[in-house]
Amino acid sequence: MVRLSGRSGARSARRPSDRRTRGAPDRVFGVPERGIPRDPLADGQRKGPLARVRSALSGRSVAGQVFLLQVVVVLLLVVAAVVALVLQTRYDTTQEARNRSVAVAEAFANAPGTREALDSPDPTAILQPRAEAAREATDVDFIVVMNTDGIRFTHPKPDRIGKKFVGTLDPALAGKVVVEHITGTIGPLVQAVVPIKDPDGKVVGLVSAGITTKTVGGTADRQLPLVLTAAAVALALSTAGTALVSKRLLRQTHGLGPDEMTRMYEHHDAVLHAVREGVIIVGDEGRLLLANDEAHRLLDLPEDAEGRRVIDLGLAADTAELLDSGRMATDEVHLVKDRLLAVNQRPTHLRGRPSGSVATLRDSTELRALSGRAEEARERLNMLYDAGVGIGTSLDVTRTAEELAELAVPRFADYATVDLFDAVLAGGQPEAVTRLRRTASSGIRKDAPLHPVGEHLRFVDSSPQARALTDGQAVVEPRLQKALGWRAQDLERSAQVMDFGIHSLIAVPLRAGSLVLGVVSFWRSQKGEPFDADEVALAEELVARAAVSIDNARRYTREHSMAVTLQRSLLPRRLPEQNALDIAYRYLPAQAGVGGDWFDVLPLSGARVALVVGDVVGHGLHAAATMGRLRTAVHNFSALDLPPDELLALLDELVARIDQDEAEEGESAPVAGATCLYAIYDPVSRRCTIARAGHPPPALIRPDGTVEFPDVPAGPPLGLGGLPFETAELELAQDSRLVLYTDGLVEDRERDIDEGLELLRAALARAGRSPEETCQSVLEGRLPERPSDDIALLVARTRALGTDLVAEWQVPSDPAAVAQVRSDVTRTLERWGLEDLSFTTELILSELVTNAIRYGGDPISVRMLRDRTLICEVFDASSTSPHLRYAAMTDEGGRGLFLVAQLAERWGTRYPPTGKVIWAEQPLP
């Protein structure tokens, strides 16, 4: 079934969905401008205040570590002070209890009438009123008078009078004062026992006074909250002060951690000292802020040049004026002593950086000398012309070396060999410490006893090749018979070479500017006379031209590897987990250049999945970077749950803005456009909605193996604007396979797209049933030997979400219907074995249904899906977008969506053709 629906390419008038994922960090993908490396400090400056505060509090940055350390120190000091106060209070309480109990007991024992009352017939009648009055007056818990046997005469509780006293009495009977800590019926207390003596010093009775530590410490306990409050205020003030200091430190360190700052410094320092161009940074007042080693060498700057004005450094007037002015300059040639320097300068304030300028200096003296030598050798222009035409026809290092050897034989030498450093073959910088590899060899005979191609060589210091590499100049050995240094390389092979008839040698270093890429050896056997000075000059000219081509091939190899690495880093590392589709993919970069093809698989709400395939017109780093920007945009737009046609309309506007911005800057060719296909598959309804913008149509393999290309309206390529995009809706049976691809698979220079589609149809008809088998079959049948364009292939086999995993109810527009919804939800979750989610699911759906009844419109329905997560959806006919707010303490409502956001793992809103759907996902237990 195919249903077409036309929609305007303009942005939808309704509000975009509000999709929130708890715990998911925001991500912003950016592509640095061409020729300007990304600066970690600038990235730190571009962060917002909230991001910088989060960075500071994370503990990864220097500011964060200082903040956390200072807060911990303050907190420990406050805790130590509070603990010391509590311990001191407890000690003072104990001492106060001891002193008060002894004083009261001694005062009562020595009070007039106490001893006489012991001799009376009824001591209790006399002493009990006195003891109680004294107890109330002194705030002790008890005063007990007893005889020498410990029998109580007084006690706050009359029922204990006449019973034996509990405590230590022996020291008191001996005339001493006893103080002890015990735990009695009224809690921990301190009691003192004091003897009552007659005039003769004999102990005739005892008095005990006791007081609980709770009674004494009550005042301190009442003061403790005040002390804790003061400590909390001190902690808050210290933390606030620490936060201000950390905020200032955060601004100064740009949110970088110690490792990041160290690594950034080491990288910048390594680059500045290793680069083969002079780098100068001048401040806004014309003061030299930085000059690397190469700049010191080229300009002969003094050691203390940093910090001084450039006009005071003794430079040539025109050079000093350029550096002091800060104006833009591109390859301006300046004569500095005996050097010709090409100067490029750019101001630094153009992109929000500090005022000043950055200049690079390149020594072009050697290029001028090379031109002079070519002018002086007009008689050799024919061969040099052939070298210019025949060497460097491909951007392959090995092939370029072979072209040099083939050109030299037999026109200049009988045998020629090219030895390059291993790093050059891989596209890297040559390193003298590494071995050389015999890369190319050519001769008038195939049986020459020279080292074969592919063999690693390490020349001894006395050999002509080693001297040429070390000195950077050609070395000629006119008579190999007398060249002891050359023979020392390999005595046996040297003898074979001379016996073969080879008698003269020129070793020329392969130099590209200041880089030495390897060495070229020219050998003579048939011509009797040795190489002369003019032939040495010709060899140097020939090798110099070849060196440029080899260096270009080396740079291309490096940049191609970098571009491929960038391109692959912008593509999905792995596919997201989802249950709607079984997916397999292939991505094959072009043999020459890097394109902008991409693909993506994006899980959406409601168990749906979006499939994306796109292609940016053009090749190279610019196309790869633009592809990354478009892929990021598709990620962001898909989060809005837009229909395919509306998403393509937004993407069309984005491409148009990119073209316009780059055309205004004039730094690079504007993007000519891009194509894209966007499809959304729903496993519940088994419907797939597709829209495309100038992209090849998808292929569909039915479960019975038949292949067809559904009629999906093409739409204009992205970036043209003005025309709407249309969608096609397909109903896919389970186990159908949807095949998405880029034009590199079906179109090339040898065949048009119609022929390519027919070949693709035939390959799909022979493919196995799994997506992996389908990808393999397509590539085996359609992949060209050297693809000129990138190829992206995405095969998705459909699955259907069973009806037993879907529950749906219609809800009347009546608040009383919420109870029935909760009952239905509970029964459904019990049937699915998800009873643990009953409470949270009932609460989520209750809030969503209540909001739909209050603020939405009929009809209202509820749907639950059991997929990788438990999905709850509430549909109503209103297109008003809900928003999360935080209710005040006095508000009666406004907490529904807040509860949903807290209970659900993700929630959001999407807009079908009529109304809206609010959804929430919970992880399965």
In three-state form (DSSP H/G/I as H, E/B as E, the rest C), the secondary structure along 593-646 is CCCEEEEEEEECHHHCEEEEEEEECCCCHHHHHHHHHHHHHHHHHHCCCCCHHH
pLDDT for the residue numbered 815? 84
**What length is written for the chain?**
925
Burial of 526 (0-12, 13-18, 19+ CB in 10 A): exposed
Is residue 786 within 8 A of residue 738, CB to CB? The reply is no
Measured between alpha carbons, how far is residue 93 from residues 12, 23, 166, 192 in Å? 76, 51, 23, 15
Q: How confident is the model at residue 218 (pLDDT cuts 50, 70, 90)?
A: low
> Amino acid letter at 188?
P
Is residue 790 within 8 A of residue 589, CB to CB? The reply is yes
> Is pLDDT above 90 for 687?
yes
Q: Which residue has better confidence, 744 or 49? A: 744
pLDDT for the residue numbered 524? 92
* β-bridge partners, 196: 205
* Through-space distance between the first and last CA atoms of the chain, rounded to whole angstroms: 38
Kindly report the average pLDDT of the chain as a whole number: 81
> Is pLDDT above 90 for 30?
no
Lowest mean pLDDT among 131-140, 359-368, 454-463, 535-544: 359-368
Residues 751-793: pLDDT tens digits? 778 888 888 888 898 888 899 999 988 888 665 555 667 888 9
Query: Phi, psi at residue 538, to the nearest 5°?
Result: -65, -40
Is residue 484 within 8 A of residue 510, CB to CB? The reply is no
**Residues whose CB is less than 8 angstroms from the CB of residue 79 and which lie 6 or more positions away in sequence, other chains included:** none
Look up tokens 């190899």; give the residue.
Answer: 557
Helix, strand, or coil here: 210? strand
Q: In what side-by-side order are the strands of the sheet with 707-708?
A: 581-588, 791-798, 737-741, 699-701, 707-708
Mean pLDDT (whole number) for 745-751: 77
pLDDT for the residue numbered 38? 45
Lowest mean pLDDT among 69-73, 135-139, 495-499: 69-73
> Is pLDDT above 70 for 593?
no
What count of Cα atoms within 13 Å lies in the side-chain half-sphere of residue 106? Answer: 11
Alpha carbon 892 to its chain centroid, in Å, reads 42
**Residues whose CB is less than 8 angstroms from the CB of residue 870 and which lie 6 or more positions away in sequence, other chains included:** 834, 837, 841, 864, 921, 922, 923, 924
Is residue 586 within 8 A of residue 791, CB to CB? The reply is yes
Q: What H or E segment, with its residue span, contains residue 879?
A: none
**Residues whose CB is less than 8 angstroms from the CB of residue 683 and which lie 6 or more positions away in sequence, other chains included:** 579, 580, 607, 608, 609, 798, 799, 800, 801, 867
Q: Which residue has better confidence, 639 or 215? A: 639
C-alpha closest to that of 256 among 32, 31, 37, 42: 42
CB atoms within 10 A of CB 831: 12
Lowest mean pLDDT among 381-385, 393-397, 859-863: 381-385
Taken in order 20, 23, 26, 29, the sign of the CA dihedral is negative
pLDDT for the residue numbered 28? 31
Burial of 137 (0-12, 13-18, 19+ CB in 10 A): exposed
Instruction: Please report the DSSP string for 262-329 in residue order.
Output: HHHHHHHHHHHHH-SSEEEEEETTSBEEEE-HHHHHHHT--TT-TTSBGGGS---HHHHHHHHH---E
> Amino acid letter at 778?
V
CB atoms within 10 A of CB 390: 14
Q: How confident is the model at residue 9 (pLDDT cuts 50, 70, 90)?
A: very low
Q: Which residue has better confidence, 589 or 287? A: 287
pLDDT for the residue numbered 51? 52
Taking only Cα atoms into account, the Rg of the chain, rounded to an integer number of angstroms, comes to: 45
pLDDT for the residue numbered 510? 92
Mean pLDDT (whole number) for 42-51: 48
Q: What is the largest CA-CA distance in the chain?
A: 155
C-alpha closest to that of 820 among 853, 842, 791, 852: 842
Which pair of tokens denotes residue 805? Answer: 């995993």
Lowest mean pLDDT among 164-168, 214-218, 337-341: 214-218
Is residue 156 within 8 A of residue 132, CB to CB? The reply is yes
Mean pLDDT (whole number) for 262-276: 74
pLDDT for the residue numbered 34? 35
* DSSP code of residue 389: H
Q: CA-CA distance, 50 to 33, in Å (whole number)? A: 26
Pair type for strands 726-731 and 806-811? unpaired
Lowest mean pLDDT among 72-76, 493-497, 563-567, 697-701: 563-567
pLDDT for the residue numbered 857? 79
Is residue 586 within 8 A of residue 775, CB to CB? The reply is yes
* DSSP code of residue 112: T
Q: CA-CA distance, 223 to 535, in Å (whole number)? A: 104
Lowest mean pLDDT among 179-188, 317-326, 388-397, 513-522: 179-188
Residues 840-853: pLDDT tens digits? 888 888 888 888 88
Say if residue 859 is preceded by a cis peptide, omega within 30 of 0.
yes
Q: CA-CA distance, 129 to 107, in Å (whole number)? A: 16
Mean pLDDT (whole number) for 831-840: 89
> Is pLDDT above 60 for 377?
no
Q: CA-CA distance, 621 to 391, in Å (whole number)? A: 26
Mean pLDDT (whole number) for 186-208: 85
Is residue 658 within 8 A of residue 697, CB to CB? The reply is no
Q: CA-CA distance, 483 to 504, in Å (whole number)? A: 10
Residues 703-729: pLDDT tens digits? 998 999 999 998 899 888 778 899 999
Q: CA-CA distance, 525 to 502, in Å (whole number)? A: 4
Q: CA-CA distance, 560 to 426, in Å (whole number)? A: 11
Q: CA-CA distance, 181 to 184, in Å (whole number)? A: 9
pTM of the model: 0.49
Q: CA-CA distance, 223 to 215, in Å (whole number)? A: 14
Q: Which residue has better confidence, 411 or 561? A: 411
Residues 611-666: pLDDT tens digits? 999 998 877 777 778 888 888 899 999 888 889 999 999 999 888 888 777 666 55
Q: In what side-by-side order are the strands of the sheet with 806-811?
A: 20-21, 906-910, 916-923, 869-876, 860-866, 806-811
Is residue 721 within 8 A of residue 653, CB to CB? The reply is yes
> Amino acid letter at 804?
D
pLDDT for the residue numbered 671? 53
pLDDT for the residue numbered 62? 62
Which pair of tokens denotes residue 703? Answer: 């479960």
Mean pLDDT (whole number) for 512-530: 90
pLDDT for the residue numbered 370? 59
Q: CA-CA distance, 853 to 845, in Å (whole number)? A: 12
pLDDT for the residue numbered 4? 43
Look up tokens 């509590």; give the residue.
Answer: 86
Q: How confident is the model at residue 304 (pLDDT cuts 50, 70, 90)?
A: confident
C-alpha closest to that of 428 among 268, 557, 307: 557
CB atoms within 10 A of CB 60: 16
